[in-house]
Chain A
Amino acid sequence: SPEQIRRDQRIGLEAIREFLQSKTSFDVLPVSYRVIVFETSLLVKRALNILLQNSIVSAPLWNSKTSRFAGLLTSNDFINVIQYYSQNPDQFQFIDNLTLNGLRDVEKAVGTTTSLETVSIHPFKPLYDACVKMIQSSARRIPLIDEDEDTHREIVVSVLTEYRILKFVSMNCKETKILLQPLHELNIGTMTNISAAKLETPVMEVIDLMIQKSISSVPIVDDQDKLINVYEAVDVLTLIKGGLYTDLTLSVGEALLKRSDDFEGVYTCTLNDSLFAISETIRKARVHRLFIVDDEGKLLGVLTLSDILKYILFS
């Protein structure tokens, strides 16, 4: 009965919260894994190629002069560089020689809200605390920092993402099975003021939209508002690979042709779907958000991993 389903939903959420309290961020890490770190004196265009070469979209930075962790390189940094170039097209040489040290100045120059000092957390703190910190800082990833027992210097142990945490929950928390309430009863996700674009929209306009609304994806719809694709923040990495800024004049449909062939596609769901079904999808595939569509495929809204994490922790 709907009442039973609502009761189960509450029991399930409580159980997952307890699970997150009982585990540490360290528990999420595999027994063996790698951490790719960039020295801050590295050229931005080199760092971009290394990210693409290793199929990653972010990396911690290490300032060897101060021997300290210097924040995270993310797609936001590349978006700032693109915006700086579109505002200063004569500064190509400056951008070509830009090192990772210079990214904070570019961020200031384009006036994006200077990313708060990168939040981080100790690996042995409860996983629940890492989730709270990420939600509070609207970061989608959080570095795990410990200190060397001899020299007290920082160690970047790893970087946890919302996806990895939700996947860890879906694989280890059987209570996800009783989260059967349909999305339309949960008041979750963004259903109004969705900024969408058409395939013909210039990719620079889509990038500006991401900056203005602090979003990491823009749905692409056709003339009947049917969802046909999505432009994601990580797509800008392929747009400026090799330090070429000539492709900024492309339409977003053309820019999406540069996506690598192993892109798994955009995930959609309906308002009748449950968090159990979504959790099962996260367990099996690399899902970073789901677009909510109606029976004809028309765009209704978007459900991000942050929305799901926020609901689990605070609803």
Chain B
Amino acid sequence: LATTSIKHNTLAVACVVRYKRKYVTQILYAPL
């Protein structure tokens, strides 16, 4: 899991997932 510091009450988390033969960095922004 990758995270960024919380700014403006918003948290961003991410992880790199393999989808078939390609690599997707899924980034989710969520409010605290």
What residues make up the interface of A, taking CB atoms closer than 8 Å to B?
26, 29-39, 41-43, 46-47, 49-50, 62, 64, 99, 123, 146, 155, 157-158
B31 lies within 8 A of A39 (CB): yes
Inter-subunit contact B29/A35 (CB<8 Å): no
CA distance A309 to B23 in the complex (A): 28
* A49–B25 alpha-carbon span in the complex (Å): 20
A33 pairs with B29, CB closer than 8 A: no
Give chain A nearest CB distance to B32 CB in angstroms: 10
Question: Can you list 17 A-B contacts (CB < 8 A)?
Answer: A26-B20, A26-B22, A29-B22, A31-B22, A32-B23, A34-B26, A35-B25, A37-B26, A37-B27, A37-B28, A41-B30, A46-B8, A50-B29, A62-B28, A64-B30, A99-B31, A157-B24
Q: Do B25 and A38 touch (CB < 8 A)? A: no
A47 cross-chain contacts in B, Cβ below 8 A: 29
How many A-B pairs fall under 8 Å by CB?
A: 61
Inter-subunit contact B27/A46 (CB<8 Å): no
Q: Which residues of A contact B26 (CB under 8 A)?
A: 34-35, 37
Contacting pair B31 A35 (CB below 8 A): no
Within 8 Å CB of A99, what residues of B? 31
Q: Tell me whether A34 and B27 are in contact (CB under 8 A).
A: yes
Q: Which residues of B contact A146 (CB under 8 A)?
A: 19
A46: which B residues are within 8 A, CB to CB? 8-10, 29, 31
CA distance in complex: A78, B19 (Å) = 32
Please give the residue numbers on chain B whose beta carbons come within 8 Å of chain A beta carbons, in ascending order: 8-10, 14, 19-31
Contact B22 A30 (CB under 8 A): yes
The residue of chain B having its C-beta at the shortest distance from the C-beta of A27 within the complex is: B22
- Known A26-B20, A46-B10, A155-B19; contact A36-B30, beta-carbon cutoff 8 A: no
- Asked, given contacts A155-B19, A157-B19, whether A42 binds B25 with beta carbons under 8 Å apart, the answer is no
Q: Assess whether A33 is in contact with B8, with CB atoms less than 8 Å apart.
A: no
| Pairs of residues from A and B, 6 with the lowest C-beta to C-beta distance, nearest first | A34-B25, A39-B30, A32-B23, A36-B27, A42-B31, A38-B29
What are the residues of chain A within 8 A of B20 when measuring CB–CB? 26
Please, how many angstroms separate the alpha-carbon atoms of A251 and B30 in the complex?
Answer: 35
Measured CB to CB, the closest approach of chain A to B30, in angstroms, equals 4
Q: Once the chains bind, are B22 and A36 in contact (CB under 8 Å)?
A: no
